[in-house]
Amino acid sequence: MQKHNLSSIKKTVTLILCIIPILSFSQAGTDIFLIDMQVKAGKITLSNPVNITHRKGYDNQPMFAKDKPLLYFTADRDSAANTDIQIYNYKTQASSFFTTTPENEYSPTLTPDGKFISCIIQRKSGAQDLGKYPVKGGPAVVLIDQLKVGYHAWIDNNQLLLFVLDDSAHNSLHYYNLLTKEDKVIAKNPGRSLCKIPGQNAMSFIEKSAAKTGMIKRLDLATMQITDIGNTLPGQEYMAWTPNGLMIMSDGTDLFSSDPANKSGWQKISFEQHDPAIRGITRLAINADQTKMAIVVKE
């Protein structure tokens, strides 16, 4: 009897260990709101919020195309227990799936050459590779499969910043070169927002701390030196940059902007026609001409 129980325990533990990696991206149900945005003299006004994913399930990680009225995002596929990349055309209000694969895809990101959508490909084994799909359609090209990649941002066509899951309790920020295979850890305990700073040869990331307030960091790509930009809003790790250089964050309820050039601190953004369904704001994305903002909220 004891041997039988021990065998059962071992099987249960093995099953749990197999399941844990697959849950790396597991989150509660979320929706994406698309909002009209106006920027004048450094002041932002938001209006006309529309829930474009008004359904039960996971809809997250929005990313705007550069020169088309398209929003890419991660979405549960209704017909199967899979997460794929979906496209929403905000001119026609039509939606379609960009991927429908046996794997799970997360964090769609346009590559610098505009020819691919890169993303995290989560395998049934729990591995999380970085791959890219041609914008015009076709199979994935695997770029990195020796690291467990959580999030990524392109520096140029060959260089990236990677949020890497080291183990169940530790994450690190890596600089990675696809040509030379250079892989260098540049920070520990990063936040999930990795961004190119508009108009600068630099990237931003958030360094989380034991305290509630993290620090937004600037990585100079010429020298690889890291300096402070300013504090996050308390307890927050999601941010975006407007093309004219303003930082945007949310405290979960309201949206705030900050101009690092003027060290203005966080200022509440005027939001006309605020929808009461907008709560628990996390991720943010802004289109290239600063006319649209996408925000992720709790269902």
- CATH code, domain carrying 171: 2.120.10.30
Chain centre to alpha carbon of residue 123: 19
Q: Is 65 exposed, middle or buried (0-12, 13-18, 19+ CB in 10 A)?
A: middle
Token digits for 79? 């017909």
Same domain, 274 and 173: no
Asked if 92 and 180 sit in the same domain, the reply is yes
Domain-ending residue, one of 130, 153, 188: 188
pLDDT of residue 27: 58
Instruction: Tell me if 6 is assigned to some domain.
Output: no
Please state the φ and ψ torsions of residue 221, each to the nearest 5 degrees.
Answer: -75, -15
Where is the domain boundary, 173, 188, 203?
A: 188
Q: Are residues 91 and 182 in the same domain?
A: yes
168 lies in some domain = yes
**Interior angle at CA 86, CA 82 and CA 87, nearest 5:** 175
60 and 183 within one domain:
yes
Tokens matching residue 268: 């509440």
- The closest of 90, 55, 85 to 73, measured between CA atoms, is 85
- Give, in order, the Cα–Cα distances in Å from 104 to each of 17, 96, 116, 171: 19, 16, 17, 21
Structure tokens at 156: 């140029």
Question: Which sign, positive or negative, has the C-alpha torsion 266, 34, 156, 123?
Answer: positive
State the average pLDDT over residues 249-259: 96
Same structural domain, 211 and 225? yes
Same domain, 114 and 86: yes
Look at residue 220 and tell me if it is in a domain: yes
Q: How confident is the model at residue 48 (pLDDT cuts 50, 70, 90)?
A: very high
Give pLDDT tens digits for 169-208: 899 999 999 999 999 999 999 999 999 999 999 999 999 9
Q: Given this model, what pLDDT does residue 26 score? A: 53
Pair (155, 230) in one structural domain = no
- In the predicted structure, residue 134 carries a pLDDT above the cut 80: yes
Residue 227 lies in a domain: yes
| Same domain for 211 and 158 | no
Kindly state whether residues 141 and 231 are assigned to the same domain: no
The verdict on 154 and 196 lying in the same domain is no
**Same domain? 196 vs 216:** yes
235 within domain boundaries = yes
Q: With contact defined as beta carbons under 8 Å apart, do 71 and 64 qualify?
A: yes
Q: What is the pLDDT of residue 25?
A: 52
Q: Given this model, what pLDDT does residue 24 score? A: 47
CA pair distance 36, 46, nearest whole angstrom: 6
Q: Which domain does 177 fall in, by range?
A: 55-188
In a domain, 161, yes or no: yes
Residue 9 lies in a domain: no
pLDDT category at 289 given cuts 50, 70, 90 is very high
Region 111-115: mean pLDDT is 97
Do both 59 and 184 map to the same domain? Answer: yes
Per the structure, the count of domains in the chain is 2
**What is the band of 11 on the pLDDT scale with cuts at 50, 70, 90?**
very low
Q: Quick check: 79 pLDDT over 80?
A: no
In a domain, 29, yes or no: no
Apex CA 173: angle with CA 168 and CA 177, to 5°?
Answer: 125
Confidence of residue 272 (pLDDT cuts 50, 70, 90): confident
In the listed set 188, 221, 251, which residue is the last one of a domain according to the structure?
A: 188
User: Model-level pTM?
Assistant: 0.89
248, 230 in Cβ contact below 8 A?
Answer: no
Band (pLDDT 50/70/90 cuts) for residue 41 is confident
